[in-house]
Structure formats: structure tokens, C-alpha cells
Amino acid sequence: MGETIRFGVSIDSQLLDSFDRVIADKKYTTRSEAIRDLIRDYLVELDWKTEDKEVVGTVTLVYNHETRDLTAKLAQLQHRLHSQIISTLHVHLDQHNCLEVLVVRGKSNEIQEVADQLIGTKGVKHGKLTMTTTGNELI
């Protein structure tokens, strides 16, 4: 971890009031920690825009398991993409609907492609890629 540096920021009072309300709602103890998290989030987003960066994330899917051939199609895709999918969690939400969470790792462009293929599979009701970082470059 590097040296801690203090710096000043000029900001409109209304914007600061709004920010203070948000950080209180999010239970931050200081503005500094909230600002550090915003910076980290921005850096993670940049990593995802750099195709050669290794990233991690989750792909969350909700689907009706009774949809014809859907379960088989998703399983085939997951087997084909096994080098980027490192873990899965399957939950039965009710008698018909399932939630599947896949932990993915690889180059950002590859992971986006994996997510697009899974989410775009006919019969998936909702899907979302949540992008994060391996943490290697963040402090």
C-alpha cells in the first residue's frame, strides 16, 4: 500500500449535500472512503474496457426450466465455455423458475462474449453481467 496523500476538492454545496446523504445511506464512515470506492469502481470499469485485462465477474440468469430444450442449451454452452466459467450455483426459485449464477474469469472481451451468449439464449427471462476485478492492481 502506498503513502496516504491528502488533497482538497472544490465542490458545489448542493452536490456535496447530495453526496453526504448517499454516503450516509451506504454507511460510509468518511467521505474519503466513499471517494476511494468511487475511484476503484472507475478503475475496474476501465479494466473491462481494456480487452487484454484479466477480469472476473458473475453472470446471473433467471429462467423457466420447463422451457423446451433451454436447460440442455445452457448446459451445452457452459461446457463449451468451461475455460471461462470457474463455478456455478443453481437455485430453484419456485416450481418453475431457476436462478443460476456463474462465476467467470478471463479477458474482458471473452467474458462479455460468454455473458452475451448465455443471456441471449432463447428462454432466459433475465440475465445480468456483474463486472469486478481480480484485485491485483487495486489498493
Q: Kindly report, residue by residue over 1-60, the tens digit of the pLDDT.
A: 678 899 899 999 999 999 999 999 999 999 999 999 999 999 888 888 887 788 999 999
- Output the known binding site for Ni(2+): 79, 90, 92, 98
Do 77 and 113 reside in the same domain of the chain? yes
Q: How far apart are CA 44 and CA 134, in angstroms?
A: 9
Do 88 and 116 reside in the same domain of the chain? yes
Do 125 and 80 reside in the same domain of the chain? yes
pTM for the model: 0.81
5 in a structural domain: no
- Output the known binding site: 79, 90, 92, 98
139 in a structural domain: no
